[in-house]
């Protein structure tokens, strides 16, 4: 209503059938109550919601690729400007938001911004859904006040760890890798994570077991971006693949990791990529090199 739209699209990954089923149920319920559809509650405002099911590409979380995917085009990232708000879906002005943002906006509209910003820290306000993986004694998705100490989330809400862990990847595959020792000093806060070189992102937590090889983990990250890159920009498409090859060779023992070249590659991807997929994959890799470099020193040569 605020933006003058009469149609919304919920883009949900095909890998989440339960989410699709739940949202479908909600849409039908709202339609029955005349809270969706034509002339809502007898007013002249009409709004309908549809679901678009993703076909398995991670890049479709990027707004321009998401729009391309809905239109039936190859999910490739577009240059901005034009931004979707001026030229988006079918070249019409489009607002693209994460459902979590829209859910928070609903609460703000109902209860007012003061109520929302009274929770959490000044800049990171409100609550955040935090997903703890099965290495926690109480895995699950929790809605937690921003600003809550991470150690409280992990130890009290999560109930501690089932097995010894050494680090966590927080915020998805592009989020930072936070060593266990840093958890003490962090709160659930976007700015705080960023200032320490991590990224809170969507705040999912993937635990890295104590005996898991960090070289293997970096290989997995490069493999992920090589697989999921839209293939458009040169540093993303080629850089991800070359990074994966370095760690392929280290795993097989055919070559050591050239640390100087790896660092240059990471900066090139971070600064040069068209979008935040291949542009942000260096974040967790740089974190690992910083905190767990010692573990990989026998696999590396410093001078090339």
Partner 1 sequence: MSSEKRKIAYIDGKPYEIGANHTSILKFVKSYVGEKKVPTLCDDPNLAPYGACRVCSVEVALEKDGPTRMVASCHTPVAENQHIFTSNEAITSLRKNIVELVLTDHPMECDSCEVNNNCELQTVANDLGISDHRYNSPKAA
Q: Which of 300, 207, 200 is nearest to 258 (CA)?
A: 300
Binding residues for partner 1, rule: CB under 8 A, are 79-81, 226, 232-235, 237-239, 241-242, 245-246, 249, 255, 258, 261, 264-265, 267-268, 271-274, 304
Nearer to partner 1, 194 or 304 (CB): 304
**Backbone CA torsion sign across 286, 292, 293, 299:** negative
Closest distance of CB 261 from partner 1, Å:
5
Query: Measured between alpha carbons, how far is 170 from 75 in angstroms, rounded to an integer?
Result: 26
Closest distance of CB 232 from partner 1, Å:
5
Tokens 């678009």, residue located: 52
Closest distance of CB 262 from partner 1, Å:
11
Q: Which residue intervals of the chain are DSSP H helices?
A: 17-32, 63-70, 99-111, 113-117, 150-152, 180-183, 190-195, 214-228, 234-252, 259-272, 276-280, 282-292
Nearer to partner 1, 117 or 263 (CB): 263
Whole-Å CA distances, 59 to 51, 56, 277: 18, 9, 7
- With H, G, I as helix, E, B as strand and everything else as coil, classify residue 149: strand
Closest distance of CB 260 from partner 1, Å:
9
Torsions phi, psi for 39 (to 5 deg): 40, 65
Asked if residue 140 lies in contact with residue 205, where contact means CB atoms within 8 angstroms, the answer is no
Closest distance of CB 289 from partner 1, Å:
17
Nearer to partner 1, 47 or 241 (CB): 241
| Angular region, 55: left φ>0, alpha ψ -120 to 50, beta rest | alpha
Determine how β-strand 176-179 pairs with β-strand 204-209: unpaired
Asked if residue 6 lies in contact with residue 46, where contact means CB atoms within 8 angstroms, the answer is yes
Closest distance of CB 34 from partner 1, Å:
44
Burial of 133 (0-12, 13-18, 19+ CB in 10 A): middle
Closest distance of CB 238 from partner 1, Å:
4
Nearer to partner 1, 27 or 277 (CB): 277
Closest distance of CB 157 from partner 1, Å:
37
Query: Measured between alpha carbons, how far is 192 from 203 in angstroms, rounded to an integer?
Result: 13
Nearer to partner 1, 47 or 83 (CB): 83
- With H, G, I as helix, E, B as strand and everything else as coil, classify residue 54: strand
């Amino acid at each position: 209503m605020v933006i003058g739209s009469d149609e919304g699209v919920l883009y949900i990954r095909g890998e989440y059938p339960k989410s699709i089923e739940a949202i479908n149920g909600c849409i039908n319920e709202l339609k029955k109550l005349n809270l969706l559809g034509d002339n809502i509650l007898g007013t002249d405002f009409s709004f309908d919601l549809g679901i678009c099911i993703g076909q398995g590409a991670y890049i479709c979380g990027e707004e321009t690729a998401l729009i391309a995917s809905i239109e039936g085009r190859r999910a490739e990232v577009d240059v901005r400007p034009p931004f979707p708000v001026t030229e988006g879906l079918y070249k019409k002005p489009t607002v693209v938001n994460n459902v979590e943002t829209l859910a928070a906006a609903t609460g703000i509209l109902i209860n007012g911004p003061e109520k929302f910003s009274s929770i959490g820290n000044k800049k990171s306000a409100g609550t955040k859904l935090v997903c703890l993986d099965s290495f926690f004694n109480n895995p699950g998705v929790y809605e937690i006040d921003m600003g809550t100490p991470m150690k409280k989330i992990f130890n009290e809400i999560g109930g501690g760890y089932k097995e010894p862990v050494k680090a966590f990847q927080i915020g998805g595959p592009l989020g930072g890798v936070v060593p266990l020792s840093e958890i003490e000093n962090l709160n659930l806060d976007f700015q705080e994570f960023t200032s320490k070189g991590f990224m809170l992102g969507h705040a999912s937590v993937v635990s890295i077991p104590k005996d898991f090889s960090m070289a293997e983990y970096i290989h997995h990250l490069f493999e992920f971006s090589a697989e999921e890159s839209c293939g458009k920009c040169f540093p993303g498409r080629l850089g991800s693949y070359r990074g994966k090859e370095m760690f392929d060779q280290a795993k097989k023992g055919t070559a050591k990791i050239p640390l100087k070249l790896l660092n240059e590659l990471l900066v090139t991807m971070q600064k040069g990529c068209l979008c935040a997929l291949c542009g942000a994959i260096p974040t967790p890799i740089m974190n690992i090199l910083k905190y767990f470099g010692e573990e990989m020193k026998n696999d590396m040569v410093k001078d090339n």
